[in-house]
Structure 1
Amino acid sequence: MNPLQARRAELRDFLRSRRAALKPEDVGQPSAGFRRTPGLRREEVAVLAGIGVSWYTWLEQGRDIKVSPEVLDAVSRALRLGEPERAHLHRLAGLNSPLPRDAHTEGIPPRLQRIVDRWMPYPAKLVDRYGNIPVFNRAAREVFGLTDENNNQAVRFFLDADWRERFPDVEAVAGEVIGFLRAQAARYPDDHHFMDVAQRLRTESPLFRTFWDRHEISLATRTTKTVTHPRCGPLTFEHTALDLSEAPHLRLHLYAPDEQTAASASFRLLLGQLAGPDRAVA
């Protein structure tokens, strides 16, 4: 079996399993007597998706047919697929992973807020698709100088010279911030917010213009970050950024001090000052 045949077989089995997992009453339909196999019938899925029965049958059989993202999303809704399953369906059908559905309206799941808080006494934060930092713990506030307002990482880095001084490797951070902005603009081509921010920064920041014209892309999933703290001096952290299937509009950023920073007397004193309510729930 070649890779294409294997993918079509996986598509067939996946759709059958998702159809079998649903009962008519799960989708607001009456149960119509005896069924030879569990779950919805193909014609019921087709009706719910608003597509032809024959077309859905061919899709489930893994036939070589052209399929659009819109039709796959209709099938996803009919089968009550979550975001990971929806993305899996698109990939099995040979398409790119879809953009999250209305991701920007989903808010902050309370569990993620708790994870950020319980990472204390080390910094943790959530970054949304625009580069805003809507959630962070007390350590992140102290180490990175975050505030309750104006926490867009691009705007703050390029327009706030005092804040930028916390990052000794200006070139690396500038590349990451701009790379993130470019990647998001390409991912959400109908959202003009990214280009509006870029245009503002091009006008107000010569540093931004220099790096923007390089066309570099970075999502900085795992690296080492050094920050200059006003009282502790240089602090170095191992940094990991995680995509979140339950909230695809957010990324979770976690920081752990390297050995030298962890052994620093000034940093240990800072940790003692940060110990409090966040520490109590860890």
Structure 2
Amino acid sequence: MTSSDLGDFLRARRARLRPGDVGLASYGRRRVAGLRREEVAVLAGMNSDYYARLEQGRERGPSSQVLDAISAALRMDEAAREHLFRLAGTAPGGDRPQPREAVGAALRQLLDGYTSTPAFVLNPATDLLAANAMAEALFSPFAQRDNLARMTFLDPAARRFFVHPDRAAEAVVAGLRHATGLDPRYPRLLDLVRELGSASADFAGLWSAHTVRGKTYETKELDHPDIGRLSLTFQSFDVRGAPGQQLVVYHAEPESPSARGLTLLARLGNPPATDRPS
């Protein structure tokens, strides 16, 4: 990452806060969206000129104490704080191994073992490296089932498939932002960001907001053309021995309409699990 990346991130985080959000009074007409640099400096307990130099890329190598103060002042959650440290070159893990693009046999067998719920493997660029039959059936409305970000922004089916398409788009971009902080040199991810930034104005706008969030535990509200509405929670797990890979498993509340919908999906006769090229 470059100093301009750090400055862009700080400006975007500053722009989303109002004085009232952080306990400051607001006087007069404001010429900037969100907090002023001087206000962030006061909240962080530092010299305003020093903070300005950080945003402008003229100050390098801020200490952990400075970054902690800035993250607190800008009300960052843990994912955003981690991203800030990595942009500043302070967080450990700068020599992360490049993600693996091939799914091992043992993990494939695990996917095949999920016969009643969708399960798939992603790399940091959200390529679908492998998917079980249920995941293939779940994503069947999309013309190409190869990359979740591309499916979300470039396939018209996404506007119908996601009950809250704007929320789904925001989550995808926040996850990609998180991934770039973890591995800023990953070629596949950089290529994807360039592609989507050129092809989708919606993606470009969300990318410039610098929202950061990793995959954890969330609810997906989906509308499948063959099944109807599905409310699914998902959990993701880092794959040991395969850097960058995440196993994602969707599931429904037992005895719920969504659980019955997954049962129907399983009965429709789906193809076997498949590997995806990177």
Q: What's the TM-score, normalizing by structure 2?
A: 0.58
Report the CA distance between 1:129 and its aligned residue: 2.0
SS at structure 1 position matched to 2:110: helix
Aligned to 1:216, the other structure's residue is in SS state coil
Partner of 1:220: 215
| Pairing of 1:224-239 with structure 2 (within 5 A) | 224-239=219-234
Pick from 243, 255, 261 the counterpart of residue 257 of structure 2: 261
CA drift at 1:254: 0.5
Distance 1:277 1:212, change over 3 A: closer
Whichever residue aligns with residue 97 of structure 1, its letter is G
1:155 is aligned to: 150
Q: Give the Cα–Cα distance (whole angstroms) in 1 for the partners of residues 230 and 139 of structure 2.
A: 10
Query: Corresponding residue for 1:131?
Result: 126
Larger helix share, 1 or 2: 1
- 2: distance between equivalents of 1:171 and 1:147? 17
TM superposition shift of 1:173:
1.3
RMSD (CA atoms): 2.7
Report SS of the residue matched to 2:231. Answer: strand
Determine the C-alpha separation between the residues in 2 that align with 1:193 and 1:134. 13
Code of the residue aligned with 1:218 in structure 2: it is R
CA-to-aligned-CA distance 1:64-100 (integer Å, 9 cap, x gap): xxxxxxxxxxxxxxxxxxxxxxxxxxxxxx9723544
**Residue 243 (structure 2) aligned to one of 248, 261, 278:** 248
Of 169, 173, 190, the residue aligned with 2:168 is 173
One-letter amino acid of the structure 1 residue matched with residue 206 of structure 2:
F
Contact 1:226/1:237 (CA < 8 Å) preserved in 2? Answer: yes
Letter in 1 for 2:237: L
Aligned to 1:103, what secondary structure does the other structure show? Answer: coil
Aligned-partner residue type, residue 244 of structure 2: H
Which one has the largest radius of gyration?
Answer: 1
Matched, 1:202 2:197: yes
Structure 1 position 210, deviation (Å)? 2.4
The residue type equivalent to 2:178 in the other structure is A
Distance 2:245 2:218 in 1: 19
Shift of 1:248: 2.1
**Other-structure match for 2:116:** 121
Length, aligned pairs only:
183
The higher-RCO structure (CA 8 Å, 6+ apart) is: 2
Q: Would the aligned equivalents of 1:144 and 1:227 in 2 still touch at CA under 8 Å?
A: no
SS of 2:121's partner is: strand
Number of the residue aligned with 1:58: none
Runs of 4+ in 1 over 6 A off after TM superposition: 275-278
Normalising by the residue count of structure 1, what TM-score does the alignment of the two structures yield? 0.57
Does 2:92 match 1:96? yes
Q: 1:114 & 1:261 partners in 2: Cα distance?
A: 28
Q: Measure the CA separation in 2 of the matches of 1:166 and 1:176.
A: 15
Runs of 5+ consecutive residues of structure 2 not aligned to the other structure: 1-89, 274-278
DSSP 3-state at the match of 1:142 = helix
Q: Evaluate the alpha carbon distance shift between residue 256 and residue 202 of structure 1 in structure 2; reply closer, same or farther with a 3 A threshold.
A: same
Structure 1 residues 135 and 238: CA distance shift in structure 2, 3 A: same
Q: CA deviation at 1:169?
A: 1.4
Shift of the 161–97 alpha-carbon distance from structure 1 to 2, 3 Å rule, reads: same
My pick for the range that moved more, 245-254 or 267-276, is 267-276
Q: Does 2:253 align with 1:271?
A: no
Q: Is the 8 A contact 2:99 2:124 kept in 1?
A: no
Q: Tell me which amino acid in the other structure corresponds to 1:103.
A: P
Q: 1:200 to 1:142 in 2, by over 3 A?
A: same
